[in-house]
Each structure stands twice: as C-alpha cells, then as structure tokens.
Amino acid sequence: MSDAERKLRTVYLSDTTLRDGEQMPGAALNPDAKVEIAGLLAEAGLSSIDAGFPACGAEEVEAIRRIVRSEPVQVKSAPAISALCRTVRRDIDLAWESLEEAPRGKRSVSLFIGTSPLHREYKLRLTADEIRGIIRETVEYARERFESVCFSPEDASRTEPDLLCDFYRIAIDSGATVIGFPDTVGILTPELVKEQLKRIFDGVSNLGKAAMAAHFHNDLGLATANTLTALRMGVPIAQCTVNGLGERAGNTSLEEVVMAIALHGPVLGLRTLVDAAKLWNLSRRVSELTGIPVAANKPVVGRNVFETEAGIHQDGLLKHPDTYLPFRPEAVGAPGIRLVLGKHSGRAAFSERLESLGWKLSSGELDLVVDFAKAANKDAWRDEETLLRGAVAAAMVR
Ligand code: KIV
Ligand code: ZN
C-alpha cells in the first residue's frame, strides 16, 4: 500500500445480495447457489455478508449453516456472517441456530422494526413507547448471545427525527454495536442524506459506542450517490448488493460504490477492501444464479460498458482505450473492449475486424465492404463474420 493510500479512510462494504437482493421477485436462490455467491463475496473482500432471514424457513436456516461451514468463509480474513431478524426472540433464536458454528467475532444478527408513522400506525399498530420497549428487550436478548448486534429502524428516512434519535439511543444503550440507517423506500437525495445524518450525529448522545451502516434503496436512481454521501460524512459501513438487486428498484449497487471509490479515492478520502477485479465475474455469476439479467447499460458491469458501435468512439478507442472509457476492462475483470460493427460504425473498426479475419483491403475495397455491410438488415448483423465474408465477396466482384 502506498503512503497516499494509507492516508485514505477505509470503509467497510457489507453485502446483502443473499437477503435484500433475494427479496427481488423471481430471484430466489437455492442453498448451493447461496454458498457459491457467499464464497465469491468472501474472495472479493467484502467485510460482512447478510446471509439471509432465518424466519423464512428451514431451507434458509440450512443455507446459512452451509455458508458458515464453507471454506472461503472459514479463513481468518473472511467476512462476518449476519442473519436478519424481526425484533422477536424466536427470530433471534433461529439466527443463533443458523450461525452457531461461525467463529466468534464472525457472527452477527441484524434486528429491524418499522419506526415511521406509517409503519407504527398501519403495519404494526404499536405506539412509539411500545416500540421503545421492544427495542430494549430484543436488543438486550440478542446481545446476550451475539457479540455483534445491528439494529435498524425500518423506514428510518421517514421517521420523525427526534423519535429516530431516541430509538437509536435506546438500541445503543441496550447493547447494539451497529445501527443501520435504512432508506427503505429510496426517497432520499444526497442533500437530504446530509441533513438527516447531521441530525442523527447531533441528536444521538451515545453514537460513539456503535458503528453506523448506511442502507439505501434505489427508487430515485440515487442509491450510489446517497451511499457515497453517507460514507463521506463519516459513516463507516455501507450495505450493497451485487448488480443492485433488491426490493423494487433495488439496493445500492456494490460495483458502482467500489468503482466510484477506486476512481476517486483521493478526492473522497476513502478506500474499500474490495478487489474490483473480481466484480465482473461476481456480477455474471449472480445474474446466472438468480436468473435476473444485467441490463446492457448497467454502470460498471453492463455489457455495453466496454462495447461500442459508434464510429467516432471506435476510432478513438483504437487510437487509445482511455479516449472513451472511464476505466479499463481489466480494472473490473472484464474480458476486453469489443467494437460492435453496425450502421453507426466507421471505417477504422471495419478495417480492424477485417484484418483480424485475414483481409487486408485497399482503401477503395474497404469503402465497398463498408457500404455493403451497412446496407444489411439488423438480423444479418447477428452473425457478423458471415455478413463480413458476404460483403467482401460482393465488393470483390464489383
Ligand atoms: O430496507 C430496509 O429497511 C431493510 C431492513 C430490513 C433493514 O432492508
Ligand atoms: Zn432494504
């Protein structure tokens, strides 16, 4: 590590693909898939993994138990494994059953209860005072079993600020070691994150006794920006998912946060422990195992990130890869740049592709091939090589 890197503050990324990510409709993962993804997350350098919600059933408990026993999660540098619980004793007991084989210091529970007026009045039908009592009782119960207990007030971003601070104070007094800040319905903007966090920093007198974890949803497409804002403000932990999977519009995308910090670490004053070169494969495997495709234009890991059909961009990339890329493919472990031939492509890309297929054409021949190829319909472009062979043959008989 260089001196400059040493000066950066390390932020810890916690992955919730196996829990919040799996909540995405259609994303269900079987235990084998969960174990494989947990292994990839451990190898990528995640600090902790939210492995699931044991109250979902026996298969979930079994999946967490297998994750805990799996080799990549057993090594010394492995991430901590956490299980989600409602604020009820039975959930905490199930979390213990799921995690008991994890090494000490590597297991944690994450308790949540809705705290906003909507959750209190309509979902839970509980008063603020009743919620205070529940937090106290269940956080203490969890702390008798686990060294690490996270408490998250669900819908924190829509909870009255003074009351939110009060819930946090009680949770920390009762033994919470981490407090979550979930923007459950993804309504915040970076400015609002600043405002709300400042109130929490000023209003929770015992905040110094716990670490804070930011948890943003992406309903306004701002989850990454909000996460970076929270980290910049001193929050040490951010919860993310691979490919931004998660409820509705998803959660903060792990790969976006990692690459934003990798590119702008010195400006942000931050660094992560995640190996960015593992992101491409991680993204592909999670997509295959969940069956949720990665959008072609998904930042950092979408197919189009290193592909272009546009002539000016292709020409630039052939002259120097950085002309039209924010970072090289190898930075995220992607296979390379691909110049897609099509109606927007220019002579430079055609020439390069034809040369790679063994044709060195004169300038006039190249013009003819480009004209023939561009006149082809969209379906013909699916088999680029056959199309080019046809175009060369047609050009030669001219
Ligand atoms: O978004 C959310 O509020 C959650 C909680 C379970 C912490 O995922
Ligand atoms: Zn969530």
- Cα of 381 from ligand 1 centre, angstroms: 45
| Range(s) of the domain holding residue 344 | 304-397
Q: Which residue has the higher pLDDT, 299 or 393?
A: 299
Does the residue 298 lie in any domain? Answer: no
* Average pLDDT score, the chain: 96
Structure tokens at 345: 């492509």
Say what the pLDDT of residue 48 is: 97
pLDDT at 134: 98
Buried b (16+ CB within 10 A) or exposed e, 98-131: bbeebeeebbbbbbbbbbbeebbeeebebeeeeb
Q: Which residue has the higher pLDDT, 103 or 232?
A: 232
Which residues lie with the beta carbon below 6 Å from any ligand 1 atom? 20, 112, 152, 154, 180, 182, 184, 215, 217
Whose Cα sits closest to atom 2 in ligand 1? 184
Residues 150 and 230 in one domain: yes
pLDDT of residue 76: 82
Residues 87 and 215 occupy one common structural domain? yes
Which residue has better confidence, 235 or 377? Answer: 235
Do residues 142 and 270 both lie within one domain? yes
| In a shared domain, residues 322 and 258 | no
Average pLDDT on 61-77 reads 92
In a domain, 295, yes or no: no
Q: Tell me the C-alpha distance between 50 and 38, whole Å.
A: 9
User: pLDDT tens across 328-342, in order?
Assistant: 999 999 999 999 998
Q: What is the CA radius of gyration of the chain?
A: 25
pLDDT of residue 262: 98
Q: What pLDDT does 183 receive?
A: 98
Q: What is the pLDDT of residues 185-240, one digit of tens each?
A: 999 999 999 999 999 999 999 999 999 999 999 999 999 999 999 999 999 999 99
The pair of three-digit structure tokens given for residue 352, joined into one six-digit string:
């390069």
pLDDT digits (tens, 9 = 90+) for 8-46: 999 999 999 999 999 999 999 999 999 999 999 999 999
- Asked whether residue 4 carries a pLDDT value surpassing 90, the answer given is no
pLDDT surpasses 80 at 127? yes
In a domain, 126, yes or no: yes
Nearest-5° Cα angle at 215, 206 to 202: 30
Using the 3D structure, point to which of 232, 265, 290 is the last residue of a domain.
Answer: 290
Span from the CA of 345 to the centroid of ligand 1 (angstroms)? 45
Q: Report how far ligand 1's centroid is from the alpha carbon of 212 (Å).
A: 14
Q: What is the pLDDT of residues 259-283, one digit of tens each?
A: 999 999 999 999 999 999 999 999 9
How large is the average pLDDT for residues 294-316? 96
**Tally of domains within the chain:** 2
| Whole-number Å distance between alpha carbons of 69 and 87 | 26
Question: Which atom of ligand 1 approaches the CA of 156 most closely?
Answer: 3
Which of 290, 321, 341 is a domain's end point?
290
The segment with the largest mean pLDDT, out of 64-78, 110-124, 359-373, is: 110-124
Q: Specify the pLDDT at position 313.
A: 96
Q: Which is nearest to 284 in space by CA: 307, 306, 302? A: 302
Ligand 1 geometric centre to CA of 237 (Å): 15
Three-state SS string over the chain comes to CCHHHHCCEEEEEEECCCCCHHHCCCCCCCHHHHHHHHHHHHHHCCCEEEEECHHHCHHHHHHHHHHHHCHHHHCCCCCEEEEEEECCHHHHHHHHHHHCCCCCCCEEEEEEEECCHHHHHHHHCCCHHHHHHHHHHHHHHHHHHCCEEEEEEECHHHCCHHHHHHHHHHHHHCCCCEEEEEECCCCCCHHHHHHHHHHHHHHCCCHHHCEEEEEEECCCCCHHHHHHHHHHCCCCEEEEEHHHCCCCCCECEHHHHHHHHHHHHHHHCEEECCCHHHHHHHHHHHHHHHCCCCCCCCCCCCHHHHEECCHHHHHHHHHCHHHHCCCCHHHHCCCCCEECCCCCCCHHHHHHHHHHCCCCCCHHHHHHHHHHHHCCCCCHHHCHHHHHHHHHHHHHHC
Is the confidence at residue 384, as pLDDT, over 90?
A: no
| Residue 60 · residue 51 · CB < 8 Å | no
Alpha-carbon gap, residue 229 to 11, rounded angstroms: 12
Phi, psi of 111 (to 5 degrees): -100, 145
Same domain, 329 and 360: yes
Final residue of a structural domain among 266, 290, 314: 290
- CATH code for position 12: 3.20.20.70
Is 160 within a domain?
yes
Residues 105 and 233 in one domain: yes
* Minimum CA distance residue for ligand 1 atom 6: 112
State pTM to two decimals: 0.95
> Does the pLDDT of residue 2 top 80, yes or no?
no
Locate 177 and state its tokens.
Answer: 């070691």
Confidence class for position 3, pLDDT limits 50, 70, 90: confident
Question: Is the same domain home to 224 and 142?
Answer: yes
Q: Is residue 249 part of a domain?
A: yes
- On whether both 245 and 348 belong to a single domain, the answer is no
Confidence of residue 77 (pLDDT cuts 50, 70, 90): confident
What is the residue with the minimal CA distance to atom 1 of ligand 1? 184
Judge if 235 and 377 occupy the same domain: no
Around Cβ 301, how many Cβ atoms within 10 Å? 27
Residues 190 and 253 in one domain: yes
Cβ distance 138 to 111 under 8 Å?
Answer: yes
In a domain, residue 2? The reply is no
Same-domain pairing of 285 and 308: no
Q: Which atom of ligand 1 is nearest to the CA of 154?
A: 3
- Give the pLDDT score at 394: 87
pLDDT score, position 361: 92
- Across the range 378-393, mean pLDDT stands at 88
In a domain, 200, yes or no: yes
239 strand-pairing partners: 14, 215
Q: Which amino acid is at 24?
A: M
Q: What is the 182 CA–ligand 2 centroid distance (Å)?
A: 7
1 found inside a domain? no
Looking at the fold, whether 314 and 187 belong to one and the same domain comes out as: no
